[in-house]
Structure 1
């Protein structure tokens, strides 16, 4: 066999082995159940003195069967401490949630449960969706190191619960972040955060239609932050009301 052909075969073999190794190490999928998985959005800030108790409460929700997302906002940065986890897109989402809830303003800490403002979050986790049938079916799988694919199928056989249109968004959340705050209302405090939103990507708006037709969604995530467990979340909601139709949280090794 000519040297060039031998080299090409060796390269091809290495690529096949590498592909097989990745496939074996990253068989990571998640599928939704028959009832709606509760979705909690926490709007918080390191510059807000009343936010640490809410952050601590959010951390207590690990392994509770809910999708938790801590959106840090930056409108308290003017007090002297810039929240490094904040992004304008998170504030924009909070404004959208406020509009759907007919709120006059946005505030922190704010908890939102399945798209509805939840001012009594501190009384404990209430799961109104525990017996509420899912209005969408979701399967998410990892395709590559930072590539994910989902299949979303609206549920069309629930009398009185048909959805005219639905929307979706992806988030990457991470555990185990902390900050030693040097200024602002929390000056001198050592803050710990879990479920920190590091990426928020809207996945579009869709018509539900009369038939249960699957819709494929793709997502390219940011690279994992070493030392911080992360979750890949997909939330499907009613475009008009913001109510959760279904959600999935995927945590893959590596």
Structure 2
């Protein structure tokens, strides 16, 4: 069984012709990206009218600087994450996370953001989605469907058809107990019932604005840009068989890195079925200005 593979540079669109994802991208600050994504989610929720508003769709990208076709997917995810929807025909709010895997590190260039933990997460999706291999760049939408991350049409199609769930409003208290740690305390109702299964409450810490001069490997000589790079993923708690109104509490602690800057980082809260890997809700958390 082939366990790892890397796609070719050109992908077939739904008309059967070949297309290449563009390399151009506007420059935005990290804070502008978060504000834009939050505004997009709020605007979409306001259009829902009566009844509970619906939350955003979670897009997870599994990528590597050691893969020749990942940079185009990285740029697409950055564009989606900062709310630059021009020409993409996305009419639902999205939240994006980029997980850099480590199985291409042996090709001559070690991705500075890669982690075996993210490879394990991708394998878990592979099993849940009944795949016989893992690859880059791969996009997983709401934990329920996957496609080639550089295929714009496929990514947009999965996003537009993905199930959405009642918007959550968990209250988060964010603090720095020390210069090297970030702590997030959560409290609030899920706003949906959990019956007969377990649900993990997870928090991801990501970082934007990475520019890497790649000097070795498959992307030698290229300048690579990466946003929404997951630096930590922690479980606040696991809930089972609870009502929609019951208050859930939890706490996570992240180890910070040298050069950590609040202006480059963001937090995402999401709820994941621990057996099926399906996402059941997503919420953007705000990093206080004094962090």
Relative to the length of structure 1, the TM-score reads 0.77
What residue is the counterpart of 1:110 in the other structure? 138
What residue is the counterpart of 2:110 in the other structure? 82
Residue 163 of structure 1 and its aligned partner are, at CA, apart by 5.8
- Contact (CA 8 Å) 1:178, 1:190: kept in 2 or not? yes
Find the aligned partners of 1:193 and 1:181 in 2 and give their Cα distance.
12
Q: Aligned with 1:61: secondary structure?
A: helix
Q: Aligned with 1:71: secondary structure?
A: strand
Residue 245 of structure 1 and its aligned partner are, at CA, apart by 1.2
Q: Aligned with 1:118: secondary structure?
A: strand
Residue 66 of structure 1 and its aligned partner are, at CA, apart by 2.0
Larger Rg: 1
What residue is the counterpart of 1:137 in the other structure? 168
- Contact (CA 8 Å) 2:234, 2:253: kept in 1 or not? no
Q: Does 1:151 align with 2:187?
A: yes
Residue 226 to residue 218, structure 1, CA distance change in 2 (3 Å): same
Equivalent position to 1:230, from 256, 262, 265 = 265
Equivalent position to 1:67, from 95, 103, 106 = 95
Deviation digits for residues 105-146 of structure 1, max 9, x if unmatched? 11100000000232165115333357x442x73414234232
Residue 251 of structure 1 and its aligned partner are, at CA, apart by 3.5
- Contact (CA 8 Å) 2:185, 2:249: kept in 1 or not? yes
What residue is the counterpart of 2:160 in the other structure? 127
Equivalent position to 1:45, from 61, 64, 76 = 64
Deviation digits for residues 148-203 of structure 1, max 9, x if unmatched? 1122534456xxx9563211222111110121111111011100000011112233
Residue 95 of structure 1 and its aligned partner are, at CA, apart by 0.8
Find the aligned partners of 1:105 and 1:218 in 2 and give their Cα distance.
34
Residue 171 to residue 139, structure 1, CA distance change in 2 (3 Å): same
Find the aligned partners of 1:72 and 1:163 in 2 and give their Cα distance.
33
Q: Aligned with 1:78: secondary structure?
A: helix
Relative to the length of structure 2, the TM-score reads 0.68
Q: Does 1:244 align with 2:243?
A: no
Find the aligned partners of 1:156 and 1:67 in 2 and give their Cα distance.
20
Residue 156 to residue 190, structure 1, CA distance change in 2 (3 Å): closer
Q: Runs of 4 or more off by more than 4 Å in structure 1?
A: 30-33
Mark the runs of 5 or more structure 1 residues left unpaired by the alignment.
1-29
237-246 vs 96-105, greater mean Cα deviation: 237-246
112-121 vs 35-44, greater mean Cα deviation: 112-121
What residue is the counterpart of 1:207 in the other structure? 240
CA root-mean-square deviation: 2.7
Q: Aligned with 1:178: secondary structure?
A: strand
- Contact (CA 8 Å) 2:272, 2:280: kept in 1 or not? yes
Residue 35 to residue 221, structure 1, CA distance change in 2 (3 Å): same
What residue is the counterpart of 2:129 in the other structure? 101
> How many residues are aligned here?
220
Equivalent position to 1:195, from 205, 228, 231 = 228
Mark the runs of 5 or more structure 2 residues left unpaired by the alignment.
1-37, 46-52, 84-92, 177-181
